[in-house]
Amino acid sequence: MAKLNPYLSFRSEAKAALDFYQSVLGGELDVSTFGGTPMEGMPTPDEDKDLVMHGQLDTPGGLTIMASDTPSFMEYVAPSAGVTVALTGGPDDHDYIKGAYEKLSDGATPGQPFELAPWGDYYGQLTDRFGISWMFDVAAK
**8 in Cβ contact with 66 (< 8 Å):** yes
pLDDT at 124: 98
pLDDT digits (tens, 9 = 90+) for 69-79: 999 988 998 88
- pLDDT surpasses 80 at 128: yes
Distance CA 97, CA 28 (A): 18
Distance CA 96, CA 75 (A): 36
**60 in Cβ contact with 76 (< 8 Å):** no
Poorest-pLDDT segment among 28-32, 43-47, 129-133: 43-47
Q: What mean pLDDT, rounded, does the chain reach?
A: 93
Distance CA 67, CA 5 (A): 10
pLDDT at 103: 98
What average pLDDT does the segment 39-55 reach?
86
pLDDT digits (tens, 9 = 90+) for 81-125: 789 999 999 999 999 999 999 999 999 999 999 999 999 999 999
**82 in Cβ contact with 126 (< 8 Å):** no
Distance CA 94, CA 96 (A): 6
**74 in Cβ contact with 11 (< 8 Å):** no
- pLDDT surpasses 90 at 40: no
**139 in Cβ contact with 90 (< 8 Å):** yes
